[in-house]
Amino acid sequence: MSGGGKQPSSTTSTSEVTTTTVPKYLQPYLTDIASKAQAETQTPYQAYGGQRIEGFSPDQQAAMGNIRGMTSPGEYDAAGGMFGGMAGMGAGAAMQGFGGAAALQGMGMGQAATGAGRAFGAADALGQRGQSAVDQGMQRAFDLSTPQTFGAEQAQQYTNPFQQQVTDVALRKAREEATRQGNLANLAAAGRGTAGGTRQAVMDAMRNRDTSTQLSDIQMQGSMRGFENAQQQFERDQARRMGAANLGATMAGRGFGAMGQAGGQYGSLAGQGYSAAGQANQLLGATGMQGLAQGASGLSALGGRRQQADLARYNAQMQAGAQQQALNQKQLDTDYADFLRQRDYGKEQLGFYSGILRGLPSQMGSSRIAYGPQPNTLGQIAGLGIAGLGGLGGNRGYGG
């Protein structure tokens, strides 16, 4: 009978290490671009020292100064003086009529004494009514004929309160459109694989610049429309005031006519000579009043037209200055864009360099090393011993 030994079982395990290597022809380029990128990150910030915003042009400043310095036309003052002279002349004509009537009555018009006595009460009442009409008409004419100057207070008073809201809507829509265009540009940059790069930064800066210029133009145009509308409303109010002043002058003329009519009635009752003197003085006063009224109205209209012509000229000067300002602003924006391109030229070249390397065929090499279990020396010795014993036992059995 032979005996045999059983070998001990062992558990085996294997580990692998994979190493990836860059092709040798790419190694110097990758080292170069890494060193250049490190140097670029250590470059200090470079601030732009030029002008970014263009101020008001000389034409705009001159036009604004002229508008601020506008005063009421001298024709308005002359017209007011003529309206005042009308009152004096009307009163003088009435007094002349009364004086002539008294002189003629003293020359022997006793035959009208009874009639004159009965007419005194009526003439006095008509005279008081005429004087009251004169006072009311002239006071209204003086109150309304004084022109006003269009300044900052009047501009704020006549400006439409909803004008800025309309401008704000236009500004909001412009911002929304700029945001939409920016999102489209970001999506396009992401599709090209240049998102976050220098090119996108430059494009964003230029788009922000254009948006800022557009918003500034919208605000300036809205403010200009509000200013012009306020100016036109102010001129319409001035025209209405002058119309009311003319109405007051007409009321004064009617008052003077009533006084003259009272004097004429008194002269008619007092005698034929008194009536003739009263009619002559009334005609003289009415003719003078009519001429003064026409002259004052003509001066007022001339002053209004002169003021409108000045404003039109200043507005044209303002528009010419705005065009010059816009041209200068474009030059400033171009200078700033050139500065950005020059400042970021190194980064753009580095990005171009990196893009070329990414486009080259660069199949990475790899190597793999497998590690098995280390041999157990004691186990091997025991195994050999057991195997030897088994062999001896077998031989003995075979021999026996």
Q: Are residues 183 and 248 in the same domain?
A: yes
Q: Are residues 370 and 254 in the same domain?
A: no
Torsion, CA 72, CA 61, CA 154, CA 233, rounded to 10: 90
Residue 324 in domain: yes
Of the pLDDT bands very low, low, confident and very high (cuts 50, 70, 90), residue 398 is very low
Residues in the chain: 400
Residue 115 in domain: yes
Q: Are residues 89 and 142 in the same domain?
A: yes
Q: Beta-strand (E) ranges in the chain?
A: 15-21, 365-371
More confidently predicted of 263 and 319 = 319
Q: Are residues 93 and 216 in the same domain?
A: yes
Q: What is the pLDDT of residue 242?
A: 75
Residue 51 in domain: no
Q: What is the largest CA-CA distance in the chain?
A: 205
Q: Are residues 344 and 378 in the same domain?
A: no
Give the burial class of 206: count Cβ atoms within 10 A of its Cβ; 0-12 exposed, 13-18 middle, 19 or more buried: middle
Which amino acid is present at 72? Answer: S
DSSP letters, 350-394, are HHHHHHHHHHS--PPEEEEEEE-PPP-HHHHHHHHHHHHHHHHHH
158-191 tens-digit pLDDT? 777 777 778 888 888 888 888 888 888 788 877 7
Q: Are residues 225 and 242 in the same domain?
A: yes
Classify the phi-psi angles of 5: left when phi > 0, otherwise alpha if psi is within -120 to 50, otherwise beta.
Answer: beta
Q: Are residues 376 and 324 in the same domain?
A: no
Residue 385 in domain: yes
How many structural domains is the chain composed of?
2
Q: Are residues 17 and 68 in the same domain?
A: no
Of the pLDDT bands very low, low, confident and very high (cuts 50, 70, 90), residue 269 is low
Residue 67 in domain: yes
Per mean pLDDT, which range of 145-149, 295-299, 318-322, 393-397 is the poorest?
Answer: 393-397
342-393 tens-digit pLDDT? 998 988 998 998 888 888 776 555 556 655 555 566 656 656 555 555 554 4
Q: Are residues 347 and 385 in the same domain?
A: no
Q: What is the pLDDT of residue 227?
A: 78
Residue 277 in domain: yes
Mean pLDDT, the chain, whole residue set: 74
Q: Are residues 277 and 374 in the same domain?
A: no
Q: Are residues 322 and 372 in the same domain?
A: no
Which amino acid is present at 62? Answer: A
58-101 tens-digit pLDDT? 999 999 999 988 887 787 788 777 767 765 765 575 566 556 55
- Cβ-proximal residues to 315 (8 Å cutoff; 6+ apart), any chain: 63, 228
| pTM for the predicted model, two decimal places | 0.33
Q: Are residues 251 and 371 in the same domain?
A: no
Residue 29 in domain: no
Domain ranges, residue 8: 1-22+364-400
